[in-house]
Structure 1
């Protein structure tokens, strides 16, 4: 039976009144996302996403009335991103079309997608954000520099910036604009983080990553659409000066976009946090298994063992030398007998005094009996579930300063997998232990602490 005129099915009436309005929205979003996905044809074009995003963040960080521009003075423009900047220049013109010609937001957004069809999702975002940052950065650069630079002052006058700055209190839309731009940055960072997740530890089969990737198209679309809205606001402001007052519709649009992007960000960030936790667990298990394998393998020297226990990377100097208190590399321990002092911050002064006497004795007779020489390294054990506090830091530094041997620079360098290994394999139970390693990193004695007390009674005895 067909309905005519005012005869409308109850379900349709509820739909129009808003009871099922979300279904219309979902349907509309689905159609839009299908359009966007059909325009996504990446062909492997490389973009230095992190570098461009860093420049964008620098610009937007200082694009406020009271910003300190000296912080970015002389920031280098690397040659490797020149092509990316040239691409961004084309996007600027497209973003400005709405204000200049009144092009529909969705149509303008699709035009940007068409322009960036051959780029990856994260590249689409950072290039669009770069275009927006250029517009907004130019606006605030003239506003700030007009006080100190004659050229900027003249250009600001032509762009009516002088009158704009004098009536800043009337430009309430700038707060909404700044808030939306920050939301766009947060979503952009999330999409970049997703791209950077290490495939060696996580795959799209993991539900959290699968869910996040399913939302990337939506995130990119609404961020670029927000860029179109922001560009329109900036263009209108610089074109019509402070007399331009954003309409209620435009203000509502910025607020709605801001709300939508914040919801997208919260969802993506939640999934990213779950992914990072999954990755950390995989890395933890891998690190623990690596330790087990290392101690079951014969080595030419002790470097692999010591690096795995103390700090595996080469980006910092992980040890502090006892007398000079200078930071040094683990290489100073190569092919040495190493006595690992493993303890919490509550090690007693009696234990330290005895060990210090033993250490001095070893150094004294080193030239005569080289085999008896050993180096001591303090490994501070910290429960990962305990929050590190300022009092703990001061206690650690005070203890470290009294030790004449090598110490780990900071407890945070000791990996969680190492802590588990020490507890399970060397049976550490909060009381200090001494683990003796030979020049090849082999465990000679899993706990020589009792030998230390024997040495106190009979100093002529050796640990060997």
Structure 2
């Protein structure tokens, strides 16, 4: 019968609490606040303190500035202090009215807290705020004791005077160790059930509905009951600590207190187990619905607004999910009517060299001024495991240093979003990808990173169609190979100057080649020289060398994805390590020599053959003819150009065509052909 009365009493209290719930839009990061509570309980554990230090445990530390509060003008510390003071007032009142068996002071304090200080907060915030208030009081009590304990190396006169005023015995630690252990177990149970409450509060109900699923209506009352018990339990723990200030320690009293604390801890554990099952079931339903909604949204060809898509990607748990390089908070409305490139990577992002090239290609090109406000990049780092403090610090450093936007708290992104990115966008946790969405939220390129590294801002809007268009019209040329890796080289390319690019893993070979080429240049050959090293060289590369090989690697990746074998020169470049390589030419007329013997043979032929033909055929053409002497395998090749195209070529100037078989320049003739058709 007594059990039934207790249950009815609890149900009445929970109904009263529900009637006080009036959320007004206030929000705080309950997850991080609970993590602070765990930190406090951890560092007040004397056994932990003996074997650990702050450097080893830094993955548990949370900066106070990380705990955000939205919609409240009052500082978080003030709110927690008011709750602590109310719990203290309730404890003082309870010491004078403990005879009231119908309303213990913990229940009275709980109702006052819900009715006044917690009324306008969400359920997860209510529980975490009260937990924080208790944790601070517990730390205040423990600090002077621990500073004076024989385990501490700190001689603290202030702690000694505080202990004297509180009349603490010298062996208080050993006396209270069982109670502290029971308290920590009790707080662990409160933290555990609060995490379930936070998980429930984080359900993406703004995007998918559970109103018609039976599990949801049965879970909400469990949430209300759980929050009630967390707040009441915190008040019980608070009283247990305060009693030590004015009650002499007694073995019998200690035994009873520990038994009561353990009983409440067991009750919370039972509640947690039931609640966790319900919350897990809710997430199974929402995850499935959310994933299906992702599939539908991203395949909708009629979408004209990216806000719904981006809200699902970034803002399932956060109203301001993005931040700029100044670390200011932004909403997804910042991306409205823009092309959005979602830069998905591991927390360490790219190498420094790749970052420099990407920033140069996208942000240092004068063409960017024409596209100002048309697109944004959003960095979306994904960790392979839970985020450590060092990873968070590294993330904030990079986010503050880079010119694009970042997901503000990537460790809070929904697992469903990450699952979708891995399954539908093929992010495997290794190489980064750049998923591009048009202003309507439609995916136009599942990886535009390579085209950005090759063409930069000029590949806007970074779609697959634009990439295909660029490759169709792009010729194998110095402009494509070299890009903007060096101002002087850019000037040579613009002047249509003959250039010699060369490299090898062997420094001796490079020096020898450069010496021989200097002799040739002194004969009057106008030729720009640029050393670009080797792809797999272990030597420290210059900036232009690094950028060149990053671009070449991007070209090779794209051609492999397209399963084309037309651009064999890219593969030859990437494979030319110890052999050495040279590319001569200008514009799109290029010839590549691979291997030391081939290069040496070319240099030896300068005076006898190809040096005499540079004026007529250009450097590349002259070298090509020198290596393709007439033989018994002479052949003829014919390319028929329609009249309109031929006429256009005549107006634009001579166009050099190369033979597909021997790569020699083809002589130009005019052919008149009748198609035999009558009008």
What's the TM-score, normalizing by structure 1? 0.60
Matched residue of 1:311: which SS? Answer: strand
Matched residue of 2:206: which SS? Answer: coil
CA deviation after TM superposition for structure 1 residue 149, in Å: 2.0
1:456 equivalenced with 2:456 (yes/no): no
| Gap change, CA 1:319 and 1:289, over 3 Å in 2 | farther
Matched residue of 2:253: which SS? Answer: coil
Q: State the distance in 2 between where 1:387 and 1:132 align.
A: 31
CA deviation after TM superposition for structure 1 residue 33, in Å: 1.4
Which one of the candidate residues 180, 186, 193 is aligned to 2:192? 186
In the other structure, the counterpart of 2:85 is 89
In the other structure, the counterpart of 1:324 is 353
CA deviation after TM superposition for structure 1 residue 151, in Å: 1.3
Q: State the distance in 2 between where 1:102 and 1:298 align.
A: 62
In the other structure, the counterpart of 2:7 is 29
| Gap change, CA 1:49 and 1:94, over 3 Å in 2 | farther
| Gap change, CA 1:143 and 1:203, over 3 Å in 2 | farther
Cα deviation digits, residues 220-252 of structure 1 (max 9, x gap): 232233233323322333323544543554333
Q: State the distance in 1 between where 2:284 and 2:54 align.
A: 38
CA deviation after TM superposition for structure 1 residue 142, in Å: 1.4
CA deviation after TM superposition for structure 1 residue 217, in Å: 2.6
| Gap change, CA 1:87 and 1:224, over 3 Å in 2 | closer
CA deviation after TM superposition for structure 1 residue 179, in Å: 0.5
In the other structure, the counterpart of 1:134 is 136
CA deviation after TM superposition for structure 1 residue 97, in Å: 4.7
Q: State the distance in 1 between where 2:203 and 2:185 align.
A: 28
Which one of the candidate residues 75, 79, 86 is aligned to 1:80? 75
Alignment check: 8 A CA contact 2:90 2:109 kept: yes
Structure richer in helix, relative to its length: 1
Q: State the distance in 2 between where 1:320 and 1:249 align.
A: 59
Matched residue of 1:172: which SS? Answer: helix
Cα deviation digits, residues 101-160 of structure 1 (max 9, x gap): 535595223312331214144444234323322331111111123343211111112223
| Gap change, CA 1:422 and 1:215, over 3 Å in 2 | closer
Alignment check: 8 A CA contact 1:95 1:232 kept: yes
| Gap change, CA 1:326 and 1:244, over 3 Å in 2 | farther
Matched residue of 1:201: which SS? Answer: coil
In the other structure, the counterpart of 1:60 is 41
| Gap change, CA 1:239 and 1:153, over 3 Å in 2 | same
In the other structure, the counterpart of 2:247 is 240
| Gap change, CA 1:74 and 1:154, over 3 Å in 2 | farther
State which structure, 1 or 2, has the greater radius of gyration over its C-alpha atoms: 2
CA deviation after TM superposition for structure 1 residue 261, in Å: 0.5
Alignment check: 8 A CA contact 1:105 1:229 kept: no
Q: State the distance in 2 between where 1:37 and 1:239 align.
A: 35
| Gap change, CA 1:257 and 1:448, over 3 Å in 2 | same
Matched residue of 2:163: which SS? Answer: helix
1:443 equivalenced with 2:450 (yes/no): no
Matched residue of 1:174: which SS? Answer: helix
In the other structure, the counterpart of 2:225 is 218
Alignment check: 8 A CA contact 2:41 2:184 kept: no
Alignment check: 8 A CA contact 2:179 2:254 kept: no
Cα deviation digits, residues 389-433 of structure 1 (max 9, x gap): xxxxxxxxxxxxxxxxxxxxxxx999443454458xxxxxxxxx9
In the other structure, the counterpart of 2:155 is 148
Matched residue of 1:36: which SS? Answer: helix
CA deviation after TM superposition for structure 1 residue 260, in Å: 1.0
CA deviation after TM superposition for structure 1 residue 281, in Å: 3.2
Coordinate RMSD, CA, aligned: 4.9
Alignment check: 8 A CA contact 1:320 1:328 kept: no
CA deviation after TM superposition for structure 1 residue 90, in Å: 1.6
Cα deviation digits, residues 160-206 of structure 1 (max 9, x gap): 334243x5166422211210111112222322332333331344514
Choose 136-145 or 35-44, whichever is displaced more: 35-44
Alignment check: 8 A CA contact 2:186 2:261 kept: yes
Alignment check: 8 A CA contact 1:142 1:156 kept: yes
Q: State the distance in 2 between where 1:216 and 1:243 align.
A: 38
What's the TM-score, normalizing by structure 2? 0.43
Choose 449-458 or 229-238, whichever is displaced more: 449-458
| Gap change, CA 1:130 and 1:124, over 3 Å in 2 | same
Alignment check: 8 A CA contact 1:142 1:153 kept: yes
The runs of 5 or more residues in structure 2 that have no matched partner are: 149-153, 307-337, 366-381, 387-412, 427-445, 452-458, 470-557, 572-587, 590-679
Q: Which structure is higher in RCO with an 8 Å CA cutoff and minimum separation 6?
A: 1
1:311 equivalenced with 2:344 (yes/no): yes
CA deviation after TM superposition for structure 1 residue 55, in Å: 4.5
| Gap change, CA 1:44 and 1:74, over 3 Å in 2 | closer
The runs of 5 or more residues in structure 1 that have no matched partner are: 1-20, 337-381, 389-411, 424-432
Choose 60-69 or 249-258, whichever is displaced more: 60-69
Q: State the distance in 2 between where 1:210 and 1:125 align.
A: 21
